[in-house]
Structure 1
Amino acid sequence: MEPTGNSFHGHSARFDACLNAVPVAVEFVHAALREAGVPPERIARCDLVVEELFRNSVLHGYGGDSGAPVWIGVENACIRYEDEAPAFDPLTAPLADDGAVRPIEEHRVGGVGLMLIRELPAQVEYRYLDGRNRLVIVP
Structure 2
Amino acid sequence: MMNNQRQSQNSQAQLKQQSQTFQQQKMVQQQQRLQENQTMMEQQFEAQKKQALQTMQQATTTIQQNAQTGSFQGLQQAQQQLSQVTQQLNQMQGIAVTQATTAQQQQLEQVQQQIEQASQTLSLIESLSTSNNSFKKG
Normalised-by-shorter TM-score class: under 0.3
Could you state the TM-score of these two structures normalised by the residue count of structure 1?
0.26
Flag the structure with higher strand content: 1
Could you state the TM-score of these two structures normalised by the residue count of structure 2?
0.26
Structure of larger gyration radius: 2
Flag the structure with higher helix content: 2
